[in-house]
Amino acid sequence: MKRARQKELEARGWRVGSAAEFLGLDAVEQALVELRLGLGKTLREQRTRSGLTQTQVARRIGSSQSRVAKMEAADASVSLDLMIRALLALEAKPSEIAVAIERARR
């Protein structure tokens, strides 16, 4: 957000901050959220590149289409293990998964 816009909002009584501040996340929680988002984005990209539907991915990992949708949306109810398993089922290389994780750390 531009500094001028931030000052304008603060002058009107609004408090401006990050999502982590709003949610009261500590550094570890914030890193976990970023990791989930990165893996979810990578999963969606890998699935799209492969030309597969969420249902087809779900069949490959023995899950449901709605669970794949939750993985792509980085839903907290989905384990990181399942997200990585889905990426591997889409033939993502471990190095590609590592890149997604590293991107999330930045």
Look-up of token digits 């976990």: 32
Strand, coil or helix: what is 90? coil
Which domains can be identified in the chain, with CATH numbers? 26-105 (1.10.260.40)
pLDDT digits over 50-82, tens only? 999 999 999 999 999 999 999 999 999 999 999
Strand, coil or helix: what is 13? coil
pLDDT digits over 8-64, tens only? 988 989 988 777 787 888 888 888 888 999 999 999 999 999 999 999 999 999 999
Strand, coil or helix: what is 64? coil
Q: With a threshold of 0.95, does the pTM exceed it?
A: no
Residue 9 CA to residue 42 CA, distance in Å, equals 35
Look-up of token digits 């290389």: 93
